Structure 1
Amino acid sequence: MLLNSSYRIFNLARALLICSALLAGNAWAQVKPNIVILATGGTIAGAGASAANSATYQAAKVPVDKLIAGVPELKDVASVRGEQVFQIASESFTNAHLLSLGKRVSALSKQADVDGIVITHGTDTLEETAFFLNLTVHTDKPIVVVGSMRPGTAMSADGMLNLYNAVNVAANPSAKGKGVLVTMNDEIHSGRDVSKMINIKTNAFNSQWGPLGMIVEGKSYWFRAPVKRHTLQSEFDIDTIDALADVDVVYGYGNVPATGYEAFSKDKAIINAGTGNGSVADRIVPVLQALRAKGVHIIRSARVPDGFVLRNSEQPDDKYDWVVAHDHKPQKARILAAVALTKTSDSKELQRVFMEY
């Protein structure tokens, strides 16, 4: 009798252990991060006529569900669901697209059942969208923008791995609070710093201050963190912005006429993509002075790939009441000015913003 009782107790304890293990296993499965993939089109959703077409293809053809299904390993990383926000090539992005996408990202970031957001995007303006979100979405949850240089139909297509890496970064608590990130070619970049520097090649994206880290077999390795204001520390909030200020870019070169600057005389600001240190040709200086007198902000940036524009170097910015873009490339300067001018029209405040963000 005693032996039978001991045996029953042993079996009961064994059953309890098995149940506990099963419950623990289910709990582990349930704590997988919830990641939403917002698809906007681009090359990562492109298709070519044959596997040999890596540069000739049609962008924005593959819907988000097929993108997700094409990377079955995602289910091992997170609970993933997709939304098709747009289906366009990114060179066709407008301010309206930025605002619509930003508001959707902001709404998702407030949901308790969303731990991170991945945005698939065409590479042509990917850096602009990433920077815009970095400036305006108030969250510390990971937001990762990703694209590809080759369509999924091409030999050695890079989109599958880029998407896998993006979801891994978005699902990783170590990405929390680092602002909007861009994952391309196994590297993790800040949305503030990154730019498309090469076409055709898969190592197209670079940051002049270097990547934040790398991803190897789904694991994130971090080497630095952003120091400029972003996301939760930003004074700009997508939920309060209904329209961006009109800002355009004029490219500087030898023999440049005043035509481009005068064409944008009704804008809130003009970005001068100047030569060298944001230089302005002597014959253009009086044109920009006249525009500033009419209320148009003049922001000196540089067309060169790296470096930054020094205030009161090349031009007396204090005297002319001009602004310098610091290390922001012309396209990034346009985004920052378009956002900042929704809150202020003071040139000193505008200059502060360019130094802090």
Structure 2
Amino acid sequence: MREPFILVLATGGTIAGQAGSATRRDYRPGQIDIATFLDDFAALGVDARLEGRQVANIDSANIGPAIWCDLHEGIGAAMDDPGCAGVIITHGTDTAEETAFLLDLTLPTTKPVVLVGAMRPADAVGSDGLRNFANAVRVAADPEAKGRGVLLVMGDQVLSARDARKARTTGSNAFEGFPRGAVALATPASLDWLQPQWRKDEPARWQFPAEFPEVPILHCYAGQTGDSVRRLVEAGAEGIVLAGLGDGNAPDSVREALTDAAQQGIVVVRATRANEGLVDREPEDDANGFVAARALGPAKARILLQVLIANGVTDPARVQEAFGRR
């Protein structure tokens, strides 16, 4: 009987990027194919059976529903394959939190699913790609990794998809977890879980969207007027995520326009443009028909709202329940 393999779905990003020089600041993501990358990894001598598939090879700024669908179908097939122990997705860091969270919402937790990327291209001094990937292999091969939803491995930390966010533009510590920090610490030689499994043998929470509803993010700023909301409504928004001031605040005219939108059946979620912090419900939310994003930042709030609307969940009370779920 063959030993179980780990499926590697490659989408490009910095981990597959090249600059053509060890010291150049600029580089092109998505230049190395997965076969070459796995050959380079094999030279490190890490004991693992890996099978690679190239889903895309692009800058993650260009990832969207078509590639998400391919990833979801590929992982679903791996979940049904008794020979597959887990799945690793190589991914650019700019939108890694959105891809990870979408998959976290729409996949069962029966096998490990791990996203991994890099902050420096493969030919840069101090490239972190192979180390991060070695850490991801250790996580994906560990049976204890299942029952935790989708995980993101960066900089020797393992983060839950719901918590992970890119907090800095550069550096090996670009990712943080909120409200939880790391759920495990990983190196090529060790893996230490910091908390027990929290989603053991859980089925997918939501169906993967057949179509992704139009849900724009409205970034709030001083002097903003309600016209910014009305333009989104006129353009056909099915939901709106407010990247609000402070704990989800907005100027009165914006708030009034959002209330009008909610009364028209458009789901309105209050998040914050601040890097982290809870956006709790406030007394006016019931009357206004608003939802509080709680710990989710605007990008992930948008993903969750799209999934909910696609699954027929638009009642603010039910949407709020989903935003409060761990």
TM-score (normalizing by structure 1): 0.86
Q: By how many angstroms is 1:352 displaced?
A: 0.8
Q: CA deviation at 1:252?
A: 0.9
For residue 310 of structure 2, give the secondary structure of its aligned residue in structure 1.
coil
Change in Cα spacing, 1:89 to 1:226, as seen in structure 2 (3 Å) is farther
Out of 303, 307, 311, the position equivalent to 1:339 is 307
**Alignment correspondent of 2:83:** 113
Taking only aligned residues, the RMSD between alpha carbons, in angstroms, comes to 1.8
Identity %: 33
Q: Look up the match of 1:39.
A: 10
Displacement of 1:182: 0.7
Counterpart code for 1:127: E
Structure 1 counterpart of 2:21, one-letter code? S
Matched with 2:66 is 96
Deviations 1:296-328 (A, max 9, x none): 111000111121111015xx0001111111110
CA distance in 2, matches of 1:179, 1:201: 26
Quote the Cα distance in structure 2 between the aligned partners of 1:150 and 1:298. Answer: 37
Greater C-alpha radius of gyration: 1
Q: Does residue 1:49 correspond to 2:17, yes or no? A: no
**C-alpha contact 2:213 2:309 (8 A) present in aligned 1:** yes
Matched, 1:245 2:219: no
Which whole-Å CA distance do the structure 1 matches of 2:238 and 2:201 have between them? Answer: 24
Specify the code of the residue in structure 1 equivalent to 2:155.
N
Superposed CA offset, 1:33-63 (max 9, x none): 310100001010100020002x310011100
Task: Kindly indicate whether the alpha-carbon contact (under 8 Å) linking 1:99 and 1:243 is maintained by their aligned counterparts in 2.
Answer: no
Distance 2:142 2:82 in 1: 16
The structural deviation recorded for 1:74 is 6.8
Which letter does structure 1 place at the counterpart of 2:281?
Answer: R
- Is the contact made by 1:249 and 1:334 (CA closer than 8 Å) also made in structure 2? yes
Question: Gapped runs of 5+ residues in structure 2?
Answer: none
1:69-148 to structure 2, matched below 5 A, reads: 69-72=39-42, 76-148=46-118
CA contact (8 A) 2:226 2:256 kept: no
Measure the CA separation in 2 of the matches of 1:336 and 1:347.
13
How far apart, CA to CA, are the structure 2 residues paired with 1:154 and 1:262? Answer: 46
Cα distance in 1 between the residues matched to 2:175 and 2:251: 31
Contact 1:149 / 1:158 at 8 angstroms: preserved in 2?
yes
Deviations 1:137-191 (A, max 9, x none): 1241000000000000101000010111111110111212111111101111101
Distance 1:78 1:172 in 2: 12
* CA deviation map 1:316-354 (0-9, x unaligned): 000111111111000000000000111212111111111
Aligned length: 322
Once the two structures are superposed, the pairs formed by residues 160-171 of structure 1 within 5 Å of their partners are 160-171=130-141
Q: What's the offset of the Cα at 1:257?
A: 3.1
Secondary structure at the residue paired with 2:38? helix
1-structure distance, mates of 2:59, 2:302: 20
Would the alpha carbon gap of residues 87 and 231 (structure 1) be closer, same or farther in structure 2, given more than 3 Å must change? farther
The 1:101–1:124 alpha-carbon spacing in structure 2 relative to 1, beyond 3 Å, is: same
Q: 1:215 Cα deviation (Å)?
A: 1.0
Q: Secondary structure at the match of 2:182?
A: coil
Contact 1:139 1:231 in 2 (8 A): yes
Counterpart position of 2:321: 352
Equivalent residue of 2:87, what SS?
strand
Contact 1:137 1:231 in 2 (8 A): no
- Rounded to whole Å, the distance in 2 between the matches of 1:230 and 1:254 is 45
CA distance in 2, matches of 1:48, 1:320: 51
Spell out, residue by residue over 1:104-145, the C-alpha distance to the aligned partner (whole angstroms, 9 max, x if none).
Answer: 211221111111000000000001101111100124100000
The one-letter code of the counterpart of 2:73 is: K
Deviation at 1:233, TM superposition (A): 4.3
Please tell me whether the aligned partners of residues 74 and 164 of structure 1 are also in contact (alpha carbons under 8 angstroms).
Answer: no
Deviations for 1:271-311, whole angstroms, at most 9, x for unmatched residues?
Answer: 00001110021121221122112211110001111211110
Q: Paired residue for 2:33?
A: 63
Q: Is the 8 A contact 2:116 2:133 kept in 1?
A: yes
What SS does the corresponding residue of 2:216 show, helix, strand or coil? strand
